Amino acid sequence: MSKIDEKLQPVLDEVLRRNAGEAEFHQAVKEVLESLGRVVAKHPDYADHALIERICEPERQIIFRVPWIDDDGQVQINRGFRVQFNSALGPYKGGIRFHPSVNLGIIKFLGFEQIFKNALTGMPIGGGKGGSDFNPRGRSDREIMRFCQAFMLELHRHLGEYTDVPAGDIGVGGREIGYMFGQYKRLTNRYEAGVLTGKGLAYGGSRARTEATGFGLVYFVQQMLATKGQSLDGKRVVVSGSGNVAIYAIDKVRQFGGTVVACSDSNGYIVDEEGIDLALLREIKEVRRARLSTYVELKGPGARYIEGGSIWDVPCQIALPCATQNELTGKDATTLIKNGVEVVGEGANMPSTPDAVDLFHGQGVMFAPGKAANAGGVATSALEMQQNASRDSWSFEQTEARLAQIMRGIHDDCAATADEYSAPGNYVLGANIAGFVRVAEAMSALGVV
């Protein structure tokens, strides 16, 4: 039986029809529309002027060719995307992903999620996302630079600190943002610091931006646990992924007294019962840019590397999926529940499949959806924009304190909204409705545009 309100079913049908084959986008829209039935029942005016249909249709979608020359002198062609989804609350804001799996449907799902995530932060930022099917793996630093410059050669004309402000995502970190900012500056002859976020500290970046997504996730989980009178102290935690989000989630869990016993990359996962050695992990991922299997070689006995398989087979009380979309399936959820998982917090965007989320809700596992729990990254991007606009630079402590306060606000907002709509403890519903209402208020005020 469909969980969609009958008034919203035609909206979903139309999204499925006109965005054929975009499975991840369908999944993201369906989840939000499932939550909105209760809103339209209470506030029928939100469905006026095709507001919900408009929110499902990007304001602008840019697809472009990215030709570049590799180290062997061969011409390579990639495809670039920027989906400017919604600017009711502010300039389009959202990361850029470089990964061979990138296609329009993936960028649209990410852009759609970003609208509600950004709204939840309470900051004045709209939603967008971009990327390319470029695969950075195995590419030299010079090739990465040439690709970033070629990508920005087209993208720059669609950006601006008041128009669209990209940042990083999978495959795009400080190095890539630096190359893209350099190219933007050259092409426009403007030192427009607020046009990109996630910049290096040397040229207008914000302290705590690198750490923000992972730290924010753990602050959110801490707030959820606090509603039950619990804390992270002494908890056994599994974190999937080993990128930026995972690394700083591991760091913050440890600061709060928990132990992260496993993390992963796309080839396999490591288990270290003593707790993941963060300095070693950072050396492998951030300095050597090597595979995770190296961890066991360097750490020696005590740590295990499991090629393939599922990291969710490792028993834990808290599971933090921080790798990528749909990485945690119904089968994984069943295993986690059997092993006694208490909390699941999404650091990645949409890492749990819909059947996994249903299982967690059905079994009373506390579940934090990505668009609320991982919003600390983009919230700190908005703080970076603030610092750039005022030509200021804040201390780490001040920035992290703002991040913690924002995450507490998002948590309380989601929890209160879930209560208001008679679904206490359902953070999915709370996040979708609280984010939607903020965007809908602005869209109604701005008329049919």
Residue 378 binds to ligand GLU (criterion: CB under 6 A): yes
DSSP 345-370: E--SSS-B-HHHHHHHHHTT-EEE-H
Amino acid 302 reads G
Q: Which stretch binds ligand GLU (CB under 6 A): 87-95, 101-109, 247-255, 354-362?
A: 87-95
Torsion angle defined by CA atoms of residues 169, 214, 207 and 394, in that order, rounded to the nearest 10 degrees: 120
Q: How far apart are CA 236 and CA 317, in angstroms?
A: 5
Q: Considering the complex, what minimum distance in angstroms separates the CB of residue 51 from ligand GLU?
A: 24
Measuring CA to CA, how many Å separate 57 from each of 18, 187, 268? 10, 31, 37
Nearest to 425 by CA among 228, 253, 219: 228
Q: Considering the complex, what minimum distance in angstroms separates the CB of residue 342 from ligand GLU?
A: 25
DSSP 424-435: TT-HHHHHHHHH
- Write out the binding residues for ligand GLU, residues 128-147 only, by CB under 6 A: none
Residue 345 binds to ligand GLU (criterion: CB under 6 A): no
Residue 86 binds to ligand GLU (criterion: CB under 6 A): no
Q: How far apart are CA 344 and CA 423, in angstroms?
A: 18
Q: How far apart are CA 53 and CA 119, in angstroms?
A: 18
Q: Considering the complex, what minimum distance in angstroms separates the CB of residue 305 from ligand GLU?
A: 28
Q: Which stretch binds ligand GLU (CB under 6 A): 8-16, 377-385, 430-438, 439-447?
A: 377-385
Buried/exposed code over 276-311 (b: 16+ C-beta within 10 A; e: otherwise): bbeeebbebbeeeeebbbbbbeebeeebebbeeebb
Residue 324 binds to ligand GLU (criterion: CB under 6 A): no
Q: Considering the complex, what minimum distance in angstroms separates the CB of residue 349 from ligand GLU?
A: 5
| Own/partner pairs, 11-14, CB within 8 angstroms, 24+ separation | 11/52, 11/53, 11/56, 14/53
Q: Considering the complex, what minimum distance in angstroms separates the CB of residue 114 from ligand GLU?
A: 6
3-state SS assignment for residue 90: coil
Residue pair 68/76 in contact by the 8 Å Cβ criterion: yes
**Which residue out of 93, 108, 129, 252 is catalytically annotated?**
129
Candidate list 93, 108, 185, 236; residue touching ligand GLU; CB under 6 A: 93
- Closer residue to ligand GLU, CB minimum distance, 155 or 359: 155
Q: Considering the complex, what minimum distance in angstroms separates the CB of residue 297 from ligand GLU?
A: 31
- Closer residue to ligand GLU, CB minimum distance, 5 or 384: 384
- Closer residue to ligand GLU, CB minimum distance, 173 or 275: 173
Residue 377 binds to ligand GLU (criterion: CB under 6 A): yes
Residue 94 binds to ligand GLU (criterion: CB under 6 A): yes
Active site residue 129: yes
Q: How far apart are CA 191 and CA 194, in angstroms?
A: 9
Q: Which residues pair with 304 in a beta bridge?
A: 271
Determine the size of the site formed for ligand GLU (CB under 6 A). Answer: 10
Residue 197 binds to ligand GLU (criterion: CB under 6 A): yes
Q: Which stretch binds ligand GLU (CB under 6 A): 57-65, 90-98, 251-259, 312-320?
A: 90-98
HSE, side-chain direction, 13 A CA sphere, residue 30: 15
Instruction: Count Cβ atoms below 10 Å from residue 219 Cβ, excluding itself.
Output: 23
DSSP 170-219: TTB-HHHHHHHHHHHHHHHT---GGGSSS--GGGTPPTTHHHHHHHHHHH
Residue 373 binds to ligand GLU (criterion: CB under 6 A): no
- Closer residue to ligand GLU, CB minimum distance, 126 or 430: 126
- Write out the binding residues for ligand GLU, residues 150-179 only, by CB under 6 A: 167, 169
Candidate list 19, 86, 264, 349; residue touching ligand GLU; CB under 6 A: 349
Residue 351 binds to ligand GLU (criterion: CB under 6 A): no
Candidate list 223, 325, 381, 399; residue touching ligand GLU; CB under 6 A: 381
Catalytic residues: 129
Contact residues: ligand GLU, CB under 6 A: 93-95, 167, 169, 197, 349, 377-378, 381
